[in-house]
């Protein structure tokens, strides 16, 4: 392991790309609103970039790097100095700001900003509720989930915490499932609110173009945040214009997005897969009988065999050579091909853990890889993992129209 002592000038921001361990050698240094210390090393995960900023005079740090860890030279706008205006959201003049929604394009810095604001709030003694509404690049839970947690301790990576409140959506993209995601975010926010945090920060996904504009406006309507923080990574955005036109000016705080740091598609994939791995590691194979399990997809319950009754639809597993899932309120047609490798939520009265379906044995028995000991509920998804958990793909699905009106005699 390579250790290096590095000087940081007051005007500079030093970017550390993980894996790395950081310690202070002299001076005062802040990383995303959190002080570096002489004793406790700060750990930067693989593929995470953490900005280091001295406070009043030049400072020295000792950095130890793992494979691919490095000091990245400052390129464009970065560091948390660009977000200094956000501190006003926590000032004595703004006691009405209790719920903040963070919006911005992919890679604009939403998760880092959420961490920064959390750290500032914790310094002030706040109890902070975080709602992670990004089902693609989730931080508090595996992808495919909306989750929430209460934080009382500072941190440099939201991935160091696990959500206490989890709602399983079952897709890594909100496209076509906007209603379901909005409902899940509303539900998790309500549960976090019930724990009475001083401040709630809702972090969102980067889907802000095209249909994403309407989706974000509907999310705002559903949550009624006191403040929206828009992290602008491009000079003009349709969403920004709509926000300014629809809401009062003081409700939208526009901050600069981070510049010059773009995750490559493979880094993005690796960061997403590491979140699946985090919740699946230390698992073992467990047998699960579909007849003894409650099965859900998109908030709807299905049962194997018998026809739909009441609120429960019928589940049928088919052997067709296509992996498209067909779904309606009364029926779920699940190809065996789609089941193998499917990422699932597991639990009993809500999500308690996660698993991956390894194989489908016989007509109603599944082998599931999971670290969870017991469960009686299976939350299905549109997420398929490969066997090394190094890749995921979105399973295709179609809404099935099971209602076909009878032809009238005249039509015939
Ligand atoms: N202020 C900053 N200074 C330096 N680097 C930053 C800053 N903010 C974010 N970064 C780095 O830029 C990258 C993108 O940041 P982040 O993950 O916070 O963005 P995001 O908008 O949440 O992205 P996603 O859409 O993938 O969720 C990360 O590597 C992060 O460490
Ligand atoms: Mg993010």
| Residue 199: CATH number of its domain | 3.40.50.300
Task: For residue 49, give the ligand 1 atom closest to its CA.
Answer: 31
Q: How far apart are CA 15 and CA 69, in angstroms?
A: 11
Is 374 a domain residue?
Answer: yes
148 and 254 co-located in one domain? yes
Q: Please work out whether the CB of residue 107 comes within 6 Å of at least one atom of ligand 1.
A: yes
User: Of 51, 72, 93, which closes a domain?
Assistant: 72
User: Of 19, 52, 72, which closes a domain?
Assistant: 72
Q: Please work out whether the CB of residue 138 comes within 6 Å of at least one atom of ligand 1.
A: no
| Contact between 200 and 169 (Cβ < 8 Å) | no
Q: Please work out whether the CB of residue 158 comes within 6 Å of at least one atom of ligand 1.
A: no
User: Of 46, 72, 98, which closes a domain?
Assistant: 72
Is 411 a domain residue?
Answer: no
159 and 294 co-located in one domain? no
Sequence length of the chain is 412
Q: How far apart are CA 332 and CA 314, in angstroms?
A: 6
110 and 252 co-located in one domain? yes
Q: How far is the CA of 252 from the centre of ligand 2 (A)?
A: 19
144 and 204 co-located in one domain? yes
Q: Please work out whether the CB of residue 225 comes within 6 Å of at least one atom of ligand 1.
A: no
Is 198 a domain residue?
Answer: yes
Q: How far is the CA of 234 from the centre of ligand 2 (A)?
A: 17
168 and 58 co-located in one domain? no
Q: Please work out whether the CB of residue 48 comes within 6 Å of at least one atom of ligand 1.
A: yes
215 and 257 co-located in one domain? yes
Closest alpha carbon to 51 in 26, 75, 78:
78
| Contact between 28 and 94 (Cβ < 8 Å) | no
Closest alpha carbon to 34 in 70, 80, 77:
80
Q: Please work out whether the CB of residue 274 comes within 6 Å of at least one atom of ligand 1.
A: no
Domain that holds residue 332: 281-399
Residue nearest to ligand 1 atom 15, measured at CA: 109
Q: How far apart are CA 337 and CA 407, in angstroms?
A: 35
Beta-carbon-side half-sphere exposure of residue 88 (alpha carbons within 13 Å): 11
Q: How far is the CA of 254 from the centre of ligand 1 (A)?
A: 16
Q: Please work out whether the CB of residue 111 comes within 6 Å of at least one atom of ligand 1.
A: yes
Beta-carbon-side half-sphere exposure of residue 179 (alpha carbons within 13 Å): 2
Residue nearest to ligand 1 atom 11, measured at CA: 49
345 and 208 co-located in one domain? no
Q: Please work out whether the CB of residue 49 comes within 6 Å of at least one atom of ligand 1.
A: yes
12 and 102 co-located in one domain? no
218 and 296 co-located in one domain? no
Q: 3-state DSSP call for residue 303?
A: strand
Is 410 a domain residue?
Answer: no
Mind listing the pLDDT tens digit of every residue in the chain (412 residues)? 678 899 998 888 999 999 999 999 999 999 999 999 999 999 999 888 999 999 989 999 999 999 989 998 665 688 999 999 999 999 988 888 899 999 999 999 999 999 999 999 999 999 999 999 999 999 999 999 999 999 999 999 999 999 999 999 999 999 999 999 999 999 999 999 999 999 999 999 999 999 999 999 999 999 999 999 999 988 788 898 899 888 888 899 999 998 867 778 888 899 899 999 999 999 999 999 998 899 999 999 999 877 767 889 999 998 888 999 999 999 999 999 999 999 999 998 899 999 999 987 777 889 999 999 999 999 999 999 998 999 999 999 999 875 545 555 555 4
Is 404 a domain residue?
Answer: no
Is 406 a domain residue?
Answer: no
> 211-223 and 178-193 are packed helices; what angle lies between their axes, rounded to 10 degrees?
30
Rounded to 5 degrees, φ, ψ at 86 are -65, -25
| Contact between 30 and 53 (Cβ < 8 Å) | yes
Number of structural domains, the chain? 3
250 and 322 co-located in one domain? no
Chain centroid, CA 78 distance in Å: 22
pTM for the predicted model, two decimal places: 0.93
Residue nearest to ligand 1 atom 8, measured at CA: 109
> 211-223 and 238-246 are packed helices; what angle lies between their axes, rounded to 10 degrees?
40
Residue nearest to ligand 1 atom 16, measured at CA: 109
Q: How far apart are CA 113 and CA 83, in angstroms?
A: 8
| Residue 51: CATH number of its domain | 2.60.120.1030
Q: How far apart are CA 377 and CA 168, in angstroms?
A: 12
Pocket probe for ligand 1: among 32, 49, 269, the residue whose CB has the most ligand atoms within 8 Å is 49
For Cα atoms 134, 135, 140, give the angle at the middle one, nearest 5 degrees. 70
238 and 288 co-located in one domain? no
Is 370 a domain residue?
Answer: yes
248 and 289 co-located in one domain? no
Q: Please work out whether the CB of residue 78 comes within 6 Å of at least one atom of ligand 1.
A: yes
Is 217 a domain residue?
Answer: yes
List beta partners, residue 17: 49, 70
Q: 3-state DSSP call for residue 383?
A: strand
Beta-carbon-side half-sphere exposure of residue 349 (alpha carbons within 13 Å): 0
- How many other C-beta atoms lie within 10 A of the C-beta of residue 365? 14
């Amino acid at each position: 392991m390579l250790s290096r002592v590095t000087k940081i000038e007051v005007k500079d921001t030093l970017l550390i790309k993980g894996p790395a361990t950081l310690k202070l050698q002299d001076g005062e240094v802040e990383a995303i609103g959190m002080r570096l210390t002489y004793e406790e090393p700060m750990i930067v995960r693989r593929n995470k970039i953490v900005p280091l900023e001295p406070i009043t005079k030049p400072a020295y740090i000792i950095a130890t790097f793992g494979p691919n860890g490095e000091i990245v030279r400052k390129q464009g706008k970065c560091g948390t100095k660009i977000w200094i205006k956000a501190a006003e959201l926590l000032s004595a003049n703004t006691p009405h700001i209790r719920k903040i929604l963070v919006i911005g394009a992919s890679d604009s810095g939403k998760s880092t900003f959420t961490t920064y604001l959390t750290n500032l709030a914790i310094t002030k003694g706040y109890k902070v509720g975080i709602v992670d509404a990004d089902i693609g690049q989730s931080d508090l839970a595996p992808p495919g989930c909306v989750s929430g947690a209460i934080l009382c301790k500072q941190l440099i990576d939201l991935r160091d915490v696990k959500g206490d409140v989890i709602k399983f959506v079952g897709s890594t993209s909100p496209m076509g499932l906007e209603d379901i995601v909005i409902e899940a975010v509303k539900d998790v926010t309500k549960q976090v609110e019930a724990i009475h945090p001083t401040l709630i920060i809702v972090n969102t996904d980067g889907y802000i173009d095209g249909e994403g504009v309407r989706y974000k406006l509907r999310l705002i309507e559903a949550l009624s945040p006191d403040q929206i923080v828009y992290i602008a990574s491009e000079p003009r955005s349709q969403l920004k214009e709509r926000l300014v036109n629809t809401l009062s000016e003081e409700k939208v705080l526009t901050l600069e997005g981070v510049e010059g740091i773009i995750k490559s598609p493979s880094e993005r994939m690796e960061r997403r897969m590491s979140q699946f791995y985090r919740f699946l590691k230390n698992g073992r194979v467990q047998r699960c009988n579909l007849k003894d399990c409650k099965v859900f997809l998109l908030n709807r319950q299905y049962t194997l065999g018998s026809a739909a009754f009441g609120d429960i639809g019928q589940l049928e597993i088919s052997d067709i050579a296509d992996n498209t899932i067909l779904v309606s309120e009364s029926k779920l047609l699940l190809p065996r091909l789609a089941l193998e490798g499917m990422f699932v939520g597991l639990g009993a009265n809500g999500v308690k853990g996660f698993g991956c379906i390894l194989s489908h044995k016989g007509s109603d028995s599944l082998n599931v890889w999971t670290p969870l000991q017991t469960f009686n509920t299976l939350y299905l998804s549109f997420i398929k993992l490969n066997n090394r958990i190094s890749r995921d793909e979105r399973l295709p699905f179609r809404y099935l129209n099971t209602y076909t009106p009878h032809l009238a005699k005249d039509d015939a």
